[in-house]
Structure 1
């Protein structure tokens, strides 16, 4: 069985797909991580959290084929959602955020690392 990183490495991005084209979850994840990687660096942890969440919403709006639910709950419905407020910890100038499969560590200066929660592999590291 492949790890998430191994699965994502099998998906060729770029080219980015046209908005409206429905993609499988791992294709959307790969698109999401690619867009995060090429995005302009952030200068604060709050800006980085905003970037992380807004790019996910953008990718899901374009490629999931599903409308966002106001209260999505914890059960996977086919669409990924930004980190919920009750899974965000702000301490010592850092933000630690947890989603279903990832842990995100955001430094005060906007640098961040996203880990796979289960394997602890680094999925993306965006450091200036």
Structure 2
């Protein structure tokens, strides 16, 4: 007997967590590739930190757009409400990280690095199986 994805909330949350890991790893890999391709843009004192900051400024929004196809590919259903809710959670986490940046820079970086690992599984749990208030079924 084949079980529907709606009956397996644990698999949905783990798959959403994988998306939360894949997207930031891809963003860091992209910044690393840019640093290798354009070594002249790396400064003497700051290194290639500028490339990572620039990748973050643009790449986080690209990652939000790429989340829906990745969620769909990993069979997180319904994919688009999870992606939309996770985007809202991500923005809230980023705003929180900016608020604590002056008080605790380590907390800022921790929140930024873990934001998608927090947001995508939480969104999958909130929207996931048995939650018909956001899905069409």
TM-score (norm 1): 0.36
Higher helix share: 2
TM-score (norm 2): 0.34
Higher strand share: 1
